[in-house]
Structure 1
Amino acid sequence: MSALLKLDRCVDRIADLTGVLAGLLITYCMVLGVVDVFLRYALNSASLWIGPTLQAAMVLIACTAGVYAFKEGTFVRLDLIYDGLSRRTKAILDLLTAGLGLIFLWVLMWKGKEAVELALLLKQTTPTVIPMPLAPIKAAIPISAMLMTIFVIRQIIKDIVTLIGPERPVGSDEAHEVPKAK
């Protein structure tokens, strides 16, 4: 098995783990959101820590679920137009938008790294009764941007292979992906 194929599978596993983590975080938000409402309105005893942890979890959900959604091909796109296109046209559109995506991801990594460094330097915490350090939460942003960059580069390679590969009939190209070796 080639090193590139092993790397591809490793990246897929990492994305699958981010999907599991996103699911756990969503469950956490649902359960603690209900607990917070119950404490506040049924027992008239609002929690001081649930709100900030839910906010942190929401940031982490956006980071982890985004990576997983991109890997699964369910990331945001205009399916109304995209789904009716041929493999090659999809690949061309993907390549055109990949450049914009890479610029955006580069800015996320650059500014995210600066935000983490500042949070560490200033020892930033949440302004609550139970102060949570902000650096780990802020670190999720450039880390997820790095993972997304890997997936965008992988998609660029697949799109190039699609463009230089043999023509296939319309309908046989739903994901326009290169088949993975077993």
Structure 2
Amino acid sequence: MPKPIRLYVSTVDRLADYVGVVAMYLIFLMVGILLLDAITRNVIDIPLHWCIEAAQFTLAAYYFMGGAKTLKEGDHVRMDLLYDRLSERGKHRIDLITSACLMFYLVVLCIGSISSLEYAIDTDEHRFSMWNPSMIPIKALMVGCIFLMIAQTISEVFKHVAALRGEVLS
């Protein structure tokens, strides 16, 4: 594969790893928020109304940010009824087909998320709750993570094409 493609693959893979590690630590933040909520609500009888929504936003950030790393590592859910019986070349061909389907889905999702972010910015969208947080940060994170998933999908396509050509990209 040409050097620019190798550079692209290594850069996107490193970025997916970095964002994935940050996402991994968000679980600890979410547990801390929920623990704070439990203690303040049940022990000292001072409920903090922002805790549950903050935990929900943290969980949403966790699964958005973990998508590219999950794709890179191949840890996503796959129906292995026939896939395991295929040769390595057959697996790469099937992966190219599913990557095309994934790319279509991600592009449609990206268009919708950009539209949702524009709406949130135009209307200064907030959640209707006692805490009333802005929706703009989580929607911006969603758009960025979907772009990273698209970039990682392209990286995976390059890896499958290279494997079909007898090369290795990592």
TM-score normalised by length of structure 1: 0.82
Q: Please list every run of 5 or more consecutive structure 2 residues that lacks an aligned counterpart in the other structure.
A: none
Query: Which residue matches 2:35?
Result: 34
* Counterpart residue type for residue 53 of structure 2: P
Structure 2 counterparts to residues 37-116 of structure 1, below 5 A: 37-79=38-80, 81-116=82-117
* Counterpart residue type for residue 168 of structure 2: V
Residue 141 of structure 2 corresponds to residue 178 of structure 1: no
CA contact under 8 A between 1:124 and 1:133: conserved in structure 2?
A: yes
In 1, the alpha carbon distance for the partners of 2:86 and 2:94 equals 10
* Counterpart residue type for residue 163 of structure 2: T
Residue 159 of structure 2 corresponds to residue 146 of structure 1: no
CA contact under 8 A between 2:5 and 2:158: conserved in structure 1?
A: no
C-alpha deviation, 1:118, in angstroms = 0.2
CA contact under 8 A between 1:98 and 1:152: conserved in structure 2?
A: yes
Q: Please list every run of 5 or more consecutive structure 1 residues that lacks an aligned counterpart in the other structure.
A: 166-176
In 2, the alpha carbon distance for the partners of 1:146 and 1:113 equals 10
Alignment: residue pair count: 169
C-alpha deviation, 1:114, in angstroms = 0.2
Q: What's the Cα RMSD here?
A: 2.1
CA contact under 8 A between 2:92 and 2:160: conserved in structure 1?
A: yes
Identical aligned pairs, as a percentage? 28
Structure 2 counterparts to residues 120-159 of structure 1, below 5 A: 120-159=121-160
C-alpha deviation, 1:44, in angstroms = 2.5
C-alpha deviation, 1:84, in angstroms = 4.5
C-alpha deviation, 1:161, in angstroms = 2.7
C-alpha deviation, 1:79, in angstroms = 4.4
